[in-house]
Structure 1
Amino acid sequence: MAHHVSGLGISPTSLDPRSHITDLYVFQKPDDASRTILVINVNPTSPITDDAVDHESVYELGVDTDADAVTDIAFRIRFSPVQGHEQTASLQLATGREAAADLDAGDTVLLDAPVTFGSEPRIAAAGEFRFFAGLRSDPFFADPVGAENKFQWTGEDFFADKNVFGIVLEVPNRALGPNPRVGVWARVLVPHDGRLVQGDRAGRPGIDANFNQDDDDKRVWNQQEPSHDREGFLAKFAHVFEHAGHPEDRANALAESLLPDLLTYDYASAEGFPNGRNLTDDVINMGIAQLSNGAVPHDGLRPHTDLRTDFPYLGNPH
């Protein structure tokens, strides 16, 4: 269904749910068209413990500014170990392709920002940047039971009472580059054999779970960067569309529209998915309608009503 179920257990480097991305959201800040909100939600098992993120991993948002699917701007978040029910985070910004490719490059924007374990958000700010990290209500809504039963919808939103660990940035649009049309993706770099390697990634919603058919494909997909997506996956994605009933030429065109897997975003527009992704966008029904050519009825679900109207926008945890 969604990125909630991809990655976990597929690779030795992504067994830990703390390093697993559930969803990526990017949208124009409400009431301020000069600013953008970026959200990475991780750990679909939150909050089993306060230690909901891995202090040895790096959580990264990559921005492609010139449509070549290579990261030109990187926002990196690192966390301290939890000590006495307290945890902090740091935010690093690397600009330029060489800096974005170097995990140790870039400027520290925020240091020792508090992590939120309770309901009231603890927000950090530095200059024109705002930052939040902590347990939140999962904004994702879907009926996976109905989907797995040949789209016989149950009317039940499986995620209505679920939590995630949310990482939210508010940035000026110019921090995303001079061209308002960008591509955004998220990844988690995890420790493996003495180095940091990519363990999970996310761009458009539901891509990995819906189009990668076996564990080997999922393993390769989650450990590669978007610039390589078409090389090994274009024909496989087209086959999924053909299997759903699309003619070959249409299937190929649809597959090409999804790859490379970046969340395309024009920061001059507040339109919503497929322009970025708002917290309320009905991406599951949009995706099913595209795959089935409109043959599957709407699941009847609606966005969650516990979203905040102010930063960090994600609702309080359950």
Structure 2
Amino acid sequence: MKKLKIILGVGLLAVAGYFTVAADHIDAPAVMGGSSDITDYFAFQGQDNNNIVFVANVQGLLAPGSATSSATFDENVMIEFNIDTNADAVEDLVIQAVPRDGKMYFFGPYQPNSTGISSTIKSEALATSVNISQYGGAAAISNSSVSGIKAFAGPRDDPFFFDFAQYSEIIAGNATSFNNPGSDTFAGTNVMSIVVEVPKALLGGSGSINTWVESKRK
């Protein structure tokens, strides 16, 4: 077992019935621009209605080319997906994503030994791994485990659409609404993405959950 105690980034609390999204690009002062900076969190029902997909993106605003090709997952940072199945805002299950030697290892979902800011990696828990995909035309790599969990890790185009310029105009009082469709501030930039698709049966079966994501450093 390995213990990780210091939270370096936290995604927003959200409810995952069919689709939810939270975004926070370079806004957290303690982690801004670092390897643990969470940019987006998505949770939604999979193409297979029996599954839920969790997506955490980190290291936002990576320019195409060398900035993206040289980006790597920090082996001292764990991404933890927290899942609350009884609506008490405390994690009942976790899925922990840990990079090591070119692979992303997923542990869980399992009931954690402790909740809150302290985490222990239960290495004997249900595990899934996938080779981390590379940037630059290489085919994306995904993997499925015998438990039905599917996984991906690697660079991806930033999926979050936000018109930051128009938002600034609204905040300044110069506008009252967003344009349709507006201008995507993040277009052409990349993120490092971690994706895990999990059968609802491993999450209590209903698919009605609260979920949030954290990045934690050793």
Query: After TM superposition, is the score higher than 0.5?
Result: yes
What code does the residue aligned with 1:121 have? A
Cα gap change, 1:97 to 1:77, in 2 (>3 Å): closer
Report what 1:142 is aligned to: 162
Structure having the larger proportion of residues in strand: 2
Which structure has the higher relative contact order (CA within 8 Å, separation 6+)? 2
Match status 1:117 vs 2:134? yes
Find the aligned partners of 1:36 and 1:25 in 2 and give their Cα distance: 10
* Alpha-carbon RMSD: 2.3
Find the aligned partners of 2:127 and 2:114 in 1 and give their Cα distance: 15
Find the aligned partners of 2:87 and 2:214 in 1 and give their Cα distance: 18
Shift in Å at residue 2 of structure 1?
Answer: 4.2
Cα gap change, 1:89 to 1:174, in 2 (>3 Å): same
Match of 2:42 among 18, 25, 31: 25
Contact 1:43 1:52 in 2 (8 A): no
Match of 1:91 among 85, 91, 106: 106
Deviations 1:174-210 (A, max 9, x none): 12224432101000002xxxxx3xxxxxxxxxxxxxx
Shift in Å at residue 161 of structure 1?
Answer: 1.1
Contact 1:50 1:117 in 2 (8 A): no
Question: What is the aligned residue count?
Answer: 180
Structure having the larger proportion of residues in helix: 1
Find the aligned partners of 1:102 and 1:2 in 2 and give their Cα distance: 23
- Of all paired residues, the percent bearing the same amino acid is 24
Shift in Å at residue 99 of structure 1?
Answer: 6.0
Structure 1 stretches of 4+ moved >3 Å: 99-102, 151-155
Find the aligned partners of 2:36 and 2:112 in 1 and give their Cα distance: 25
> After superposition, where does 1:1-318 map in structure 2 within 5 Å?
2-7=23-28, 10-11=29-30, 14-15=31-32, 17-30=34-47, 32-46=48-62, 48=67, 49-81=69-101, 87-98=102-113, 102-105=119-122, 107-111=125-129, 113-118=130-135, 119=137, 120-127=139-146, 128-150=148-170, 152=175, 155-190=182-217, 196=218
Shift in Å at residue 98 of structure 1?
Answer: 2.6
What code does the residue aligned with 1:185 have? W
Contact 2:39 2:58 in 1 (8 A): yes
SS of equivalent to 1:149: helix
Find the aligned partners of 2:46 and 2:32 in 1 and give their Cα distance: 34
Q: Which structure 2 residue ranges, 5 or more long, are not aligned? A: 1-21
Find the aligned partners of 1:62 and 1:28 in 2 and give their Cα distance: 16
